[in-house]
């Protein structure tokens, strides 16, 4: 179904069965598969490929040579009807690739809303990206990676499969992330190690001075006190009980499956 207000360039191919919302703009030489749904106001610049069971939200800008919903690179994939979902108001720049999920990973690759995916970023099968994240040029995510809200992944950075990147994290460019990164942390290097708290980012997002101080104290307990994770956890939990903004940091340890960066 194609809304009568949608614009489709004569050179574009839109397969029968695709759902195209109001005000959608599909530029030259794009391909939209039969199981694709595009929300209203979304723009495909040119040479964009949307394939598979793919749902795109509203008011996204998708630039040339982007590929979303294509067959993933997992050798176990056998053509199952897995999916990609993309939220609203994302800027998806040139040559970004977002692959469909696998049955083993929950069948879904998901990108939230208000994200900036810069040139040539890659989001592999079964990744889950939150809201208001930035993946800089050539950032590469292995399969099953989870990135929480407001995280920034620097250019030329690779994230190992199954890693979790917490909210408000900043990972510096040219890094290799092989373990989970707790919320609020600045990480850098290959392999990435912690370099303090993302104070400037948190200030921009309205964190109060008392909360920043509490987050810094939790960080010091984990990384500078000389205590083991098991020893530091109860003290960090006590800080989180008094300062709820610290709770994502405290709760992260139970989410971590690959161990945290040290």
DSSP 138-169: T-EE-TT-EE-TT-EE-TT-EE-TT-EE-TT-
Could you report how far apart the first and last alpha carbons of the chain are, in Å? Answer: 52
- The pLDDT value recorded for residue 228 is 94
- The pLDDT value recorded for residue 165 is 98
- The pLDDT value recorded for residue 204 is 96
By annotation, the residues acting in catalysis are 125-126, 143
Beta bridge partners of 153: 135, 171
pTM beyond 0.85:
yes
Q: Using 70 as the pLDDT threshold, list the residues of the chain that sit under it.
A: none
- The pLDDT value recorded for residue 122 is 98
- The pLDDT value recorded for residue 235 is 97
- The pLDDT value recorded for residue 144 is 98
- The pLDDT value recorded for residue 1 is 92
DSSP 49: E
Let me know: does 236 contact 250? Beta carbons within 8 Å: yes
Which of 199, 220, 214 has its CA nearest to residue 248? 214
- The pLDDT value recorded for residue 43 is 98
- The pLDDT value recorded for residue 159 is 98
């Amino acid at each position: 179904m194609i809304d009568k207000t949608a614009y489709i360039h004569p050179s574009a191919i839109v397969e029968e069965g695709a759902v195209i919302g109001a005000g959608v703009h599909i530029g030259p030489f794009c391909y939209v598969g039969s199981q694709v749904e595009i929300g209203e106001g979304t723009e495909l610049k040119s040479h964009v490929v949307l394939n598979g069971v793919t749902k795109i939200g509203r008011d996204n800008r998708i630039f040339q040579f982007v590929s979303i919903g294509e067959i993933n690179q997992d050798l176990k994939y056998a053509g199952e009807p897995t999916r990609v979902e993309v939220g609203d108001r994302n800027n998806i720049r040139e040559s970004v690739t977002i692959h469909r999920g696998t049955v083993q990973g929950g069948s879904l690759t998901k990108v939230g809303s208000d994200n900036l995916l810069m040139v040539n970023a890659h989001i592999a099968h079964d990744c889950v990206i939150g809201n208001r994240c930035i993946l800089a040029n050539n950032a590469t995510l292995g399969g099953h990676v989870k990135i929480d809200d407001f995280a920034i992944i620097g250019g030329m950075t690779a994230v190992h499969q199954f890693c979790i990147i917490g909210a408000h994290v900043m990972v510096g460019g040219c890094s290799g992330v092989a373990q989970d990164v707790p919320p609020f942390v600045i990480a850098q290097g290959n392999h990435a190690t912690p370099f303090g708290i993302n104070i400037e980012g948190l200030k921009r997002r309205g964190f109060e001075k008392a909360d920043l101080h509490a987050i810094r104290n939790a960080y010091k307990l984990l990384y500078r006190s000389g205590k083991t994770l098991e020893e530091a956890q109860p003290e960090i939990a006590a800080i989180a009980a008094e300062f709820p903004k610290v709770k994502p940091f405290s709760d992260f340890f139970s989410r971590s499956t690959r161990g945290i960066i040290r």
